[in-house]
Structure 1
């Protein structure tokens, strides 16, 4: 099982158990530094210091590009965001 699949599986289980996280769609608005916009709030841009990007999405063929849609895990309170994968 790939790391991304394992993380998705854990995230889904966390949501099912009413864990304090939300899984949300977002869009990459900048890659250097990485910034994302949540689909539910078109005006709010999440800054790089609050975003955790997996190594596989930082460089190479799978690197993030501006305009790509991603799924993120947000801790309740919105203090940290983890990019799960591209959509």
Structure 2
């Protein structure tokens, strides 16, 4: 019974903790991702305790472009190809293009990131990269 009361008390305490955002540094890039929280040089967090938002991964999205297509640096046509397209301009019209775009956004060693501790404190979610101007 004592153990059950302690568990319930801990769960209640955990739910009342506000969300905390922290800076961290990528120590090792994926696939063996490791991060270090700022202010704690000795604690290295391994990939097993990390959750990633899509923004910091390589990922694909389906797209639909409409208008007259003018591809510069690549080809426009019915062929499925991988191209390094420099620019795409769209003018109003009745043409459309269905495709897929791949974002090459994987974390790199040395990047400063924003993380938050998930409820319970056992895992961390990487929200995004930190940018300052």
TM-score greater than 0.5 by the shorter chain? yes
In structure 2, the partner of 1:57 is 56
* Greater strand proportion: 2
Contact 1:27/1:38, CA 8 A, preserved across alignment: yes
Structure 2: gaps spanning 5 or more residues: 1-15, 59-102
Taking structure 1 as reference, are residues 75 and 48 closer, same or farther at Cα in structure 2, changes over 3 Å only? same
- Do the aligned residues in 2 keep the contact of 1:51 with 1:80 (CA within 8 Å)? yes
- Mapped contact 1:54–1:83 kept (Cα < 8 A): yes
Note the residue ranges of structure 1 that are not aligned, 5 or more in a row. Answer: 1-17
Alignment counterpart, residue 67 of structure 1, candidates 97, 104, 110:
110
- Aligned residue pairs total 70
Larger radius of gyration: 2
Cα displacement (A) at 1:33? 1.0
1:78 aligns with 2:121: yes
Cα RMSD for the two superposed structures: 1.8
Give the structure 2 partner of residue 10 of structure 1. Answer: none
- Per-residue deviation at 1:81? 0.3
Off by >6 Å, runs of 4+ in structure 1? none
Q: Give distance in 2, aligned partners of 1:56 and 1:22.
A: 19
Q: 1:21 offset after TM fit, Å?
A: 2.9
Secondary structure at the residue paired with 1:56?
Answer: helix
Relative to the length of structure 1, the TM-score reads 0.69
Structure with greater proportional helix content: 1
Contact 2:115 2:124 in 1 (8 A): yes
- Give the distance between the partners of 2:115 and 2:18, measured in 1 at CA: 14
